[in-house]
Amino acid sequence: MTLILGPYLLLGWSLLNPLVQLPGAMMPAVAAWIVRKWVTREGFGDAGLRLRLREAWPQYLLALLGPPLVAGAMVVTAVLFGWYDWDTSELNESLGGVPLPVALLGLMALSIVLMPVFWGEEFGWTGYLRPRLLVGRPLLSLLLTSLLWALWHYPLAFTGYTDFDNVLVGLLCWTAIFFPLQALFTALYEHSGSIWVPSLAHAGNNFVLWALAGALMIDSGQLSSSTVNLVACIPLSLLAIWAWRSSPRHTGLPLETQPAR
């Protein structure tokens, strides 16, 4: 995170600039790589570095289609609870007149292109730290990793990357979203055997789910970003519970490296 804050604090560069974000995004992977290679010397046999496109295509499909489906579930949830009034004109204005299907396909394509950027966090957090943090206690390890992952993002709330009406409330709501996301990314990793699958899901989360949610509910002025985070927790938590219950063995390792019973 220091690599991100340095250019912001010293040079005044915006954190909305992807080039400013890139060094910080890759640091979890750099740290995990150094530890694997030179500290523990455990190597990369269980790192899930292979794409496994043939074997893991169902998980790739879920990672690609999941974010827009969750965005739709968020809108339905907000409407059902009376928090949001659907307004097609506001959506068109937020999208700059671009038809929704075109915008959606463009965002999904962007998430595929930028998947390697999010590999940095997934290789470090999901693939390395989480299964080793509390060995033998997978649920607690996942929860603690989620909390650390959230704390790692906190400086972004004070540097213009994201805005909250109330910073304390905003951070609490933001923190809540990391738990179901980490559970879903973990399930995709364990089922697919490839760290690239949660990397695609992470890219879709940033560029599809939150872009659509922002255009629909935040840009319209109806809901704050904190409220949208809480709305997202409802469908994401339901999915996370289902994914956790259906994950293989919870060894913390990708499926292809798990020991036979």
Task: Establish if 129 belongs to a structural domain.
Answer: yes
> In sequence order, which ranges of the chain are alpha helices (DSSP H)?
2-6, 18-34, 57-80, 88-94, 100-113, 115-121, 130-133, 138-153, 167-192, 196-204, 210-213, 225-246
Digit-coded pLDDT (tens) for 80-134: 999 998 877 777 777 888 898 999 999 999 999 999 999 999 999 999 999 999 9
| Number of domains forming the structure of the chain | 1
Q: How much is the pLDDT for 250?
A: 59
Task: Establish if 241 belongs to a structural domain.
Answer: yes
Q: What is residue 162's three-state secondary structure?
A: coil
| pLDDT above 70 (res 13) | no
Pair of tokens at residue 127: 């693939």
User: Exposed/middle/buried for 145, CB within 10 Å: 0-12, 13-18, 19+?
Assistant: buried
Task: Establish if 29 belongs to a structural domain.
Answer: no
Digit-coded pLDDT (tens) for 32-78: 999 999 999 999 999 999 999 999 999 999 999 999 999 999 999 99
Q: How much is the pLDDT for 71?
A: 96
CB 116 within 8 A of CB 199: yes
Task: Establish if 12 belongs to a structural domain.
Answer: no
Task: Establish if 118 belongs to a structural domain.
Answer: yes
Pair of tokens at residue 200: 């695609």
Task: Establish if 77 belongs to a structural domain.
Answer: yes
Digit-coded pLDDT (tens) for 178-214: 999 999 999 999 999 999 999 999 999 999 999 988 8
Q: How much is the pLDDT for 9?
A: 63
- If phi > 0 it is left, if psi is from -120 to 50 it is alpha, else beta; for residue 259 that is beta
Amino acid at site 249: R
| pLDDT above 60 (res 2) | no
CA distance 249 to 45: 19
Q: How much is the pLDDT for 51?
A: 97
* Cβ within 8 Å of residue 235, ≥6 positions away: 70, 73, 74, 77
CA distance 35 to 85: 50
Task: Establish if 50 belongs to a structural domain.
Answer: no
pTM, 2 dp: 0.92
Task: Establish if 13 belongs to a structural domain.
Answer: no
CA distance 182 to 159: 24
Domain that holds residue 146: 55-256
Digit-coded pLDDT (tens) for 216-254: 888 877 899 999 999 999 999 999 999 998 876 555 566
